[in-house]
Amino acid sequence: MPSVGLGIAGLGTVAQGVLQIIGRNHRIILERTGIDLRVARVASRSAKPDVDLLGAQFGADLDMLYRDPAVDIVLELIGGEDTARDLIRSALMAGKPVVTANKAVIANSGNQLLGSNAEVPLRFEAAVAGAIPIVQAVQQGLVANQFEHIVGIINGTCNYILTAMAQQGTAFDDALRTAQELGYAEADPTFDVGGIDAAHKLTILLALAFDAQFNLPGVYVEGISHVTPADIRYAGELGYCIKHVGIARRSADGVEARVHPALLPAEQLLANVNDVANAVLVKADAAGHTLFSGPGAGGEATASAVLADVLAIAAGSGARQAQPRRALEYLPIEEIVTAYYLRIPTRDEPGVFARVANALSTHGISIEAAIQKEPRAQQDVVDIVILTGDSREREVDAALAEVRALPQVAGEIARIRVESLE
């Protein structure tokens, strides 16, 4: 019945979640696993908040975490990048296994960190989609499969905002302000609504699914600030929901890695994952479509994943550690082939639709569905909404350049990719 000493870096919500779970569930974990979790040391440079440290030593010196012989596993829960990465590296070099919830560090420095001391475990279940055991699902549950695609709603802030826009018809700015008031978005929301956070998580999923190196710079990234309530409404009329997704896909041309808003078929489970929830849809050659959903953030929810890693290490789990090997270049975004939603604001003149359709047709782009409403009184601009057939993005760009040059086009053209999820 081994006693396992934990050294926790940080005392934010996830670290506090770890302490709360151990405080509450220590005995049940011991009964289940035979592992006696002890918090040996907590290190934080901020003042100690009023939380029960379960008898742990407390100090500001992070290095003590891996120097203290009472610490068997280091939990990196400080967030940020440089300090966290240095701590992880030092701990691994000192032979201490590390568990981290830090997606930025793994996405940016995972190749070096996982290579630095391959004998010593470094695990990061909590870095992707919080409580959802998706790293474990990809690495173990689906280990016998070839992955065809992974489509994830992996940023709770974006999902909250798009859900609010869809359900209440509010504009992006208003929904963002509400999200900030509720604590679902940061004061500076760029990281989330700009798609960077989702790109970190997608980078990790990609590396695991395709047995490749982490390659954050190769991921195409687009945020949600350009999505309008009108787009969400038109998408609904066409039978789709708009979600912000990270997509990894193996196509005939290569591996796609992209983060952007997308129209998803409304009847699909993934399209019905709302508010701050996260979900990951995996298509694999043997298992078919599996979906994993749950809370993507939150102290105890994230801590649940951290402790799953801790207990796997403590059990001496032989489950393979992510060992990024081959470098993998992703397909340039211009080369992807998918369907597109287009919204083209035009002045209501005869023949406009024909000219738009002609420009698309010239580039081999078919029209699968379209909406053009009668203009209302006093309204001289009408939206032409088109759902294209599968088309190469380069051709869509070229066609839209022609459309944009039409004298009847009266505003910014919206272009959102469509995912069939099949």
Contacts of 23 (CB under 8 A, 6+ apart): 52, 54
**Counting contacts by CB under 8 A, is residue 315 touching a copy of itself?**
yes
* Residue range at the interface with a copy of itself (CB under 8 A); choices 144-152, 342-350, 401-409, 414-422: 144-152
**Counting contacts by CB under 8 A, is residue 284 touching a copy of itself?**
yes
For every residue of 312-361, DSSP letters joined together read HHHTT--PPPP---B--PBPPGGG-EEEEEEEEEEE--TTHHHHHHHHHH
Number of residues that bind a copy of itself (CB under 8 A): 58
Q: Which of residues 203-242 bind a copy of itself (CB under 8 A)?
A: 211
Catalytic-role residue among 96, 103, 201, 243: 201
Q: Which of 70, 93, 118, 143 binds a copy of itself (CB under 8 A)?
A: 143
Quote the DSSP letter at residue 217: G
Q: Which of 8, 132, 356, 418 binds a copy of itself (CB under 8 A)?
A: 132
Which of 338, 335, 330, 334 is CA-nearest to residue 419? Answer: 338
**Counting contacts by CB under 8 A, is residue 21 touching a copy of itself?**
yes
Nearer to a copy of itself, 18 or 400 (CB): 18
* Residue range at the interface with a copy of itself (CB under 8 A); choices 26-34, 61-69, 335-343, 388-396: 26-34
**Counting contacts by CB under 8 A, is residue 311 touching a copy of itself?**
yes
**Counting contacts by CB under 8 A, is residue 51 touching a copy of itself?**
no
Asked if residues 228 and 172 have their Cβ atoms less than 8 Å apart, the reply is yes
**Counting contacts by CB under 8 A, is residue 33 touching a copy of itself?**
yes
**Counting contacts by CB under 8 A, is residue 285 touching a copy of itself?**
yes
Residues facing residue 174 across a β-bridge: none
**Counting contacts by CB under 8 A, is residue 367 touching a copy of itself?**
no
Q: Which of 8, 73, 161, 307 binds a copy of itself (CB under 8 A)?
A: 307
C-alpha distances out from residue 296 to 96, 128, 132, 157, Å: 27, 8, 7, 10
The least CB distance from residue 418 to a copy of itself, in Å, is 20
Q: Is 283 a catalytic residue?
A: no
Tally of helices (H runs) and strands (E runs) in the chain: 13, 17
- C-alpha–C-alpha distance, residues 314 and 411, integer Å: 59
Degrees to nearest 5, angle at CA 146 with 143 and 152:
85
Which of 290, 300, 297, 312 is CA-nearest to residue 147? Answer: 290
Any idea which residues carry the catalytic annotation? Answer: 201
